Amino acid sequence: MAVTRKSNSTAHPGKIVLDSQQTRRTTAQVQEAKARAKAAKDKEEVRHLAVPGCVARLEDEIETEEQARREHSMRPDLCGVRPTDHTSPR
């Protein structure tokens, strides 16, 4: 049997190398990580595809409001003002 110091009796020479290495993942862990990544990617894709629909809906609402505003601005009878009220007597 080899003679070693008492403090070195439980030490392992390769422990330093093993501690610095990253532990390998199991097949189940790899599959779980891939599934989470795919779910996140799908969720982002759905969100990305929904954006143009939201923008189009907002643009339609704005156009409807502007059309209503134009129609009401052309019809003074809706405002309660008659065209004859604006003329001054001469």
pLDDT digits (tens, 9 = 90+) for 28-64: 999 999 999 999 999 999 888 888 888 889 999 999 9
Residue 25 in tokens: 């993942």
Residue 36 has a pLDDT of 97
pLDDT, the chain, mean: 80
Q: Where are the domains of the chain?
A: 27-75
N- to C-terminal Cα distance for the chain? Answer: 130
Is 0.85 topped by the overall pTM? Answer: no
Question: Higher confidence at residue 74 or residue 21?
Answer: 21
Q: CA 46, CA 48: separation in Å to the nearest integer? A: 5
